[in-house]
Amino acid sequence: MQGVKLQQLRFFLAVYEERSITAAARRLNATQSGVSVQIRDLEDMLGLTLFQRVSAGVVPTKSGDLIFHRATKILREVSRLQEDVNAQTDALAGEVRAGIMPTFARSILAPVLSRFMMEHPYVDMKVTEAYSGALSESVSAGDLDFAIVPSGSVPAGLRATYLDSDLELLASATPVEGAAGGVDLSIIPPLRLALPGRKNSRRAKIEQHLRSFSRSDHTILELDSMMTTLDIVRRGDWSAILPGCLCLPDLDDSKLHFYPIVQPNMTVDYLLIEPAATEGSPAVQRFAQELGKEIRASCARCRAFFAG
């Protein structure tokens, strides 16, 4: 056991998460032979077989699973130690690379970003707007420090923190028959529905509810643009199922009608995802906290609006 190196643990985590020496080498900007040597040396040092080699890549052994959880904790603590060493002043500094879904781009991001940058002028900000699939890939690849996404499967190597639950709303330019107190999917008439693309984690949940509870044959338009979706709804041609936080600025608009989906109750959970083996810098943690606080407040405002 004596002599295990942090680099060996980092290489091991990459192979474990990618299930491939080739993919791990790409991720680490290393050679395949270099990765193989590090894994072999680690196995020799530990006296354990960590992976079974198969035609499609590698499969972790039970020993590999155990070492993965231990190595994740070790590298996270090393990351925290590095941040402690680097914290030379009380002022936050460094770079924050955050990913958000379009739901939050309208009314939630701007006030948080404005306040944060005014209070912490030494922090460089980079915010990327994308849908959940692309955001998860960017966090996994190390291109983002964290992202806010709807609930769904969390890729290996990431950890998720629950933030809050939001209402899913049916949006329409005209009143929907039988939906005065909320939408009952079993009785609403056929609609022309604009829905997000299949890579959006909300899409699968929406389709499941429609298949299970709706008796109408709805016409579906796949549209991966929140702003265009709102525009097409406002024009009166289509309805849409949208997160409440996105609709907050429009809830009092007399030209639009919003209905919570109450039968069955349809909500979307928001998660903060970040690398499992590293701890974000103080600046990253602070911005994530501020953004999460604003999201929770917005979800509460939406629920209060429809609670009467």
Q: Tell me the pLDDT tens digit for each residue of 133-162.
A: 889 999 999 999 999 999 888 888 999 999
Between CA 178 and CA 184 the distance in angstroms is 8
Q: pLDDT tens string for the chain (308 positions)?
A: 567 888 999 999 999 999 999 999 999 999 999 999 999 999 999 999 999 999 888 999 999 999 999 999 999 988 888 777 666 556 788 999 999 988 888 889 999 999 999 999 989 999 999 888 889 999 999 999 999 999 888 888 999 999 999 999 999 998 877 667 788 888 888 889 999 888 777 888 888 888 888 777 889 999 888 889 989 999 988 999 999 999 999 998 888 999 998 888 889 999 999 999 888 999 999 999 999 999 999 999 999 998 86
Between CA 64 and CA 82 the distance in angstroms is 26
The pLDDT value recorded for residue 308 is: 63
Which tens digit of pLDDT belongs to each residue from 65-100? 999 999 999 999 888 887 776 665 567 889 999 999
Beta strand 183-184 with 257-263 is parallel
Between CA 152 and CA 141 the distance in angstroms is 18
Is the Cβ–Cβ distance between 295 and 104 less than 8 Å?
yes
Rounded to 5 degrees, what angle do the CA atoms 40, 46, 51 make? 50
CA dist 29 → 76, 139, 202, 298 (Å):
21, 17, 34, 41
Place of tokens 């948080």: 112
Please classify residue 25 by burial: count the beta carbons closer than 10 Å to its beta carbon, then call 0-12 exposed, 13-18 middle and 19+ buried. Answer: buried
Between CA 100 and CA 25 the distance in angstroms is 28
Share of residues in the chain with pLDDT > 90 (%): 58
For residue 182, give both structure tokens.
């909320």
The pLDDT value recorded for residue 20 is: 93
The pLDDT value recorded for residue 211 is: 84
The pLDDT value recorded for residue 268 is: 92
Name, in order, each residue with C-beta under 8 angstroms of 101's C-beta and a sequence gap of 6 or more. Answer: 129, 130, 131, 132, 135, 148, 149, 150
Output Rg (C-alpha) for the chain, integer angstroms: 23
The pLDDT value recorded for residue 178 is: 67
For residue 193, give both structure tokens.
């529905």
Between CA 116 and CA 224 the distance in angstroms is 29
Beta strand 158-172 with 239-243 is antiparallel
pTM for the full predicted model: 0.76
Between CA 21 and CA 56 the distance in angstroms is 10
The pLDDT value recorded for residue 102 is: 87
Phi, psi of 293 (to 5 degrees): -60, -45
Nearest in space to 271 (alpha carbons), one of 166, 183, 122: 166
Query: Is residue 88 helix, strand or coil?
Result: coil
Domains defined for the chain, CATH in brackets:
6-86 (1.10.10.10), 94-164+269-307 (3.40.190.10), 165-267 (3.40.190.290)
The pLDDT value recorded for residue 208 is: 85
The pLDDT value recorded for residue 202 is: 84
